[in-house]
Amino acid sequence: MTFLQTLKMKAGFGTDGLTKRKTVTFGDTSAVADGRMWSILSVFVLSVAWYMGSALELVNPIFWPAPSAVWEQFTYISQEGYRNFSLWEHIWASLYRILVGFALGCLIGIPLGFAMGLSQLMRGWFDPIVEFFRPIPPLAFIPLVIIWSGIGERSKILLLFFAALWIMVIAARAGVGSVKLSKIHAAYSLGATRKQILYYVILPNSLPEIFTGMRVAMGICWGTVVAAELVAAESGVGFMIMAASKFLATDIVVLGVIIVGLIGYAIDILMRKLEAKLIPWKGKA
Amino acid sequence: MSDLVVNDVSMVFETPTGEQVHALHDVSFSLKQGELLSILGPSGCGKSTLLNIIAGFLAPTKGTVSLASTELHGPGSDRGMVFQQGALFEWMTVAENIAFGPQMKGTPKAEIDATVNHLLETVGLQDFGDKPIYELSGGMQQRVALARCLANDPDVILMDEPLGALDALTREKMQSLVLKLWKETGKTIILITHSVEEALFLGEKLFVMAPRPGRIKKQYSLPFADAGLTQNPREIKASPDFIKTREEILSMIWEMEEEIMGLAATGTGG
């Protein structure tokens, strides 16, 4: 490979030897490289457009602030904090709520999903409950949750628990359902007990589905926590956005939005890396 | 001795439409320890049902299965299973898969390690112990499945089309491995296959089963499995005796298939 070709591969325009000789590429998704160069370019173009737009005063800063204004707010708030809390405390407040709510959702949801996958009684009993609550957006419960437990941590965590619970139940149930009967039979004729089959066969076999569920649940939780903080909170990134909007401080609003986007993105990358590490057999069996 | 006795086994079940299906009708046979039986038959003849009954995954509507004079109920580690594919545990390495049975029983680790190493060598995978299952070819995976079954030291090995998903060349190599393992371990083996050639080559005994109701239509005692231990498999399969028996069985199965098709066409089937 020439230097230029190597560079092209690295930049994600990759066309390896065989792909280059393919006469049909539209619809052949294996011939679509990740196009990392285009990603870099798209971020770059958007940044320049933002910068130029504000430098040429094309947009009223109340509608959309200049990048410099957002950056200034970032440096100021990260040193001085905002509304009694430092920037990191706001971010941690949101993250903490997610982590606890999500963990509780997994802790209850996964065993419940397993029970529903393995027992007729449990499936029959819980099916109407799960199917009823699943399609309701967790935000619809905000008024109730506030009445029950005020605007403190508890209400947020309860809401996030609700958001994660149904997703994890369904993921775990699907995971149990995906186990091949021949694997179960093999384990029985190798002398395994029911408990051993659950722990050594059914549980690992359902990890791919459970992990997919976790990724979805994480995304939903992150969105829900910000929205919940918009309604009622004293800290958190969502609270920051809401409080700033009351003073038309669009620069802080945009700063909050960027933080939400970046952290959500980072969480998903982390989950994907974790998935590749923990479930290397996914999609290969 | 651990003889396997299948006594008067019948299996009748009802379809959702209320139709009665006679999957097996009064099937009886016995195998001495160390015999290798292969079973052939058109689809729907109940050969898989029979294997599942012996394995203990299905309870027959009538009759009994006993091993070493003990009546069997439910699955147990005295009867190992080898499936067509997909029954290995992808989340474990090759060695961990093989160690599964002894580990579930709580065998000491040193003992398990020795068994696993010995078996890896026996099936020709000595350098693959630490590899994950999904990196192995189909033939290698079936080697692991055989080793995993042997690690538990069962009295009987039940094989449900273990070589069915392999390409022709790999399949021939695996047939020789099955013969070798059979001879070395002295296990009783029941093998279900769709390949007449495989059934003839591997089976000391061979049953041809017929459907509606599922039953043993014809039994053979064959010399080829013993010969396969010493002679070239290709020569055995090309010998006049082998070819004559193969054609006889093939036309028998063809006739049954045509009968089924004919019944279906005239609407008198079922």
Q: What is the mean pLDDT of residues B221-248?
A: 91
pLDDT digits (tens, 9 = 90+) for A233-283: 889 999 999 999 999 999 999 999 999 999 999 999 999 999 999 999 987
Sheet holding B36-40, edge to edge: B79-82, B156-160, B188-192, B36-40, B205-210, B215-221
Strands ordered across the beta sheet of B70-71: B20-31, B4-14, B62-67, B70-71
Q: Quick: pLDDT tens for B239-256.
A: 999 999 999 999 999 998
> Dmax of chain A from CA atoms?
76
Question: Which tens digit of pLDDT belongs to each residue from A215-229?
Answer: 999 999 999 998 889
Where does the pLDDT of residue A120 fall: very low under 50, low under 70, confident under 90, or very high at 90 and above? very high
What's the token pair of residue B262? 């004919």
Confidence of residue A124 (pLDDT cuts 50, 70, 90): very high
Q: At A141, which helix (H) or strand (E)?
A: none
Average pLDDT over residues B205-234: 91
User: CA–CA separation, B171 vs B175, rounded Å?
Assistant: 6
CA A142/CA A227 separation, integer angstroms:
10
Instruction: Between A31 and A93, name the one with better pLDDT.
Output: A93
Distance CA B65, CA B160 (A): 18
**CB < 8 Å to B152, chain A:** 190-191
Q: How many residues are recorded in chain A?
A: 285
Between chain A and chain B, how many beta carbons pairs sit less than 8 Å apart? Answer: 77
**Closest Cβ–Cβ partner in B83, B91, B133 for A182:** B83
**Helices in chain A by DSSP H: which ranges?**
3-10, 17-21, 36-55, 67-80, 87-118, 120-133, 142-149, 153-177, 181-189, 194-197, 203-231, 237-245, 250-278
Q: In the predicted model, is pLDDT for residue B269 greater than 50?
A: no
Protein fold of B1-78+156-232: Rossmann fold (3.40.50)
Q: Domain coordinates of chain B in residue numbers?
A: 1-78+156-232, 87-153
Quick one: pLDDT at residue A251? 94
Residue B268 pLDDT greater than 60, yes or no = no
Q: How confident is the model at residue B260 (pLDDT cuts 50, 70, 90)?
A: confident
Identify the H or E element spanning B189: strand B188-192
A212 touches chain B (CB under 8 A): no
A7 has pLDDT over 50: yes
pLDDT (0 to 100) of residue A231: 85
Tokens of residue B174, six digits: 């695996």
- B-interface mutation test, from A190, A195, A207, most B Cβ less than 10 A away: A190
What are the structure tokens assigned to B58, written together? Answer: 């299905």
Q: Which residues of B touch A185 (CB under 8 A)?
A: 55, 57, 75, 81, 83, 87
Sort out which chain A residues have CB atoms less than 8 A from B79's CB and list them.
189
Give chain A's domains with CATH numbers.
Answer: 3-65 (no CATH), 79-278 (1.10.3720.10)
Q: What percent of chain A has pLDDT over 90?
A: 74
What's A75's DSSP letter?
Answer: H
Per the CB < 8 Å rule, is B104 touching A186?
no
For residue B101, list chain A residues with Cβ-Cβ distance below 8 A. Answer: 190-191
- At A260-272, the pLDDT tens digits run 999 999 999 999 9
Question: Tell me, what's the pLDDT at B187?
Answer: 95
Section B178-186 average pLDDT: 93
Task: At B82, list the tokens.
Answer: 């080898």
Query: Are B26 and B14 a contacting pair, CB within 8 Å?
Result: no
Residues of A in contact with B130 (CB under 8 A): none
Interval A112-119 mean pLDDT: 97
**What was the pLDDT predicted at B267?**
55
User: Which pLDDT belongs to residue A35?
Assistant: 82
For tokens 């005063």, the residue is A57
- Chain length of chain B: 270
What's the whole-number mean pLDDT along residues A152-169?
93
Find where tokens 């005295």 sit. B78
Give pLDDT tens digits for B90-142. 999 999 999 999 999 999 999 999 999 999 999 999 999 999 999 999 999 99
DSSP structure class, residue B266: H
Q: Could you tell me the two tokens for A274?
A: 């974790």
In tens, the pLDDT along A39-55 reads: 999 999 999 999 999 99
Calculate what percentage of chain B has a pLDDT beyond 70: 97
According to the model, what pLDDT value does residue A272 have?
Answer: 92
CA distance B104 to chain A (A): 6
Q: What is the pLDDT of residues B139-157, one digit of tens each?
A: 999 999 999 999 999 999 9
A11 to chain B nearest CA, in Å? 29
Provide the ipTM.
0.92
Q: For residues A165 and A217, is the Cβ–Cβ distance under 8 A?
A: no
CA distances to B71, B154, B156, B190 from B34, rounded to whole Å, are 19, 12, 8, 10
Give Cα separations from A248 to A61, A65, A82, A258, B99 (angstroms): 10, 11, 15, 17, 66
